[in-house]
Structure 1
Amino acid sequence: MSGSDVPRLTHVRANVRDLPSAITWYEDLLGVQAQGHWPPDAPTYAHFTLGPTQFALGRYDPAPAVGARFNFEVDDVDAWWERTSPDTDVLEPLQNTPYGTRKFTIKDPDGNELGFVQAKPG
């Protein structure tokens, strides 16, 4: 397969039950404002531009089964750990891994898993 035949992931979406609450939760966590609210008069969708990829939220009622996992590569995972609130649902606390990264994993209010990962220097 040539390089031009390899697909590039540019957009992922987490399904949520309460879109306005999810937008606020993710804006607080990511420090980025949601964009692309659609449809404008009664949004069921919004996205965040994170580098070359869009991370989107879609409202579904009732929400389909959850259990999605999203990993975000960050430059300073300790700073991201400090951004979590005391009531954050932590699956894996901040830790060094045996495979050369430093990471933590939390859940959003709808049960989707969010991993924050930093490659260890050296």
Structure 2
Amino acid sequence: MKTRLEHVRINVGDLEAAVKWYEDVLGFKVEARWPQENPNYVHFEREGGAVFGLMEGFSSTPGRFNFYVDDVDALWSKLQARDVNAVEELFDTAYGSRKFTITDPDGNELGFVQG
């Protein structure tokens, strides 16, 4: 079976606080909010990748996601000034890539990988 991942979502405790963190710390930009009258879901601009969304309140189980980036060293340097919680500091993997992992305020693990 062939598949193509087009949408991922993580659950957060406070949607507005999470959106602020993803915008301020990672530079993401909200593309849509739903439902319009009382949003509990947002997704960010996808720039050619899968839709990445946040939904408020359905589970306290953290998720783990890897984002592939062009310059992981530059992003790591930028985020060091933002006092992020590092699960794995920047390192070279055994399979030829370079990566680091941080957590968002809800404990979701976000890996950033190059290569």
Q: Distance in 2 between matches of 1:67 and 1:43?
A: 21
Q: Distance in 2 between matches of 1:86 and 1:49?
A: 22
Which of structures 1 and 2 has the bigger CA Rg? 1
Match of 1:109 among 95, 105, 109: 105
Which residue of structure 1 lines up, in the alignment, with residue 40 of structure 2? 44
Q: Distance in 2 between matches of 1:36 and 1:116?
A: 24
Give the RMSD, CA atoms, in angstroms. Answer: 1.4
TM-score (norm 1): 0.85
**Any conservation in 2 of the 1:14–1:56 contact (CA below 8 Å)?**
yes
What's the secondary structure of 1:21's corresponding residue? helix
Give the gaps of 5 or more residues in structure 1.
none
Match of 1:57 among 54, 62, 70: 54
Cα offset, 1:99, TM superposition: 1.4
**Any conservation in 2 of the 1:29–1:83 contact (CA below 8 Å)?**
no
Match of 2:75 among 67, 77, 80: 80
**Any conservation in 2 of the 1:16–1:57 contact (CA below 8 Å)?**
yes
Kindly tell me the number of residue pairs found equivalent between the two proteins. Answer: 113
Q: Structure 1 vs Structure 2: percent identity of aligned residues? A: 52
Counterpart of 1:82 in structure 2: which amino acid?
S
1:16-74: CA deviation from partner (whole Å, max 9, x where unpaired): 011011001111233231121111122100001222311000001xx513231100000
Which shows bigger deviation, 24-33 or 41-50? Answer: 24-33
Counterpart of 1:25 in structure 2: which amino acid?
W
TM-score (norm 2): 0.90
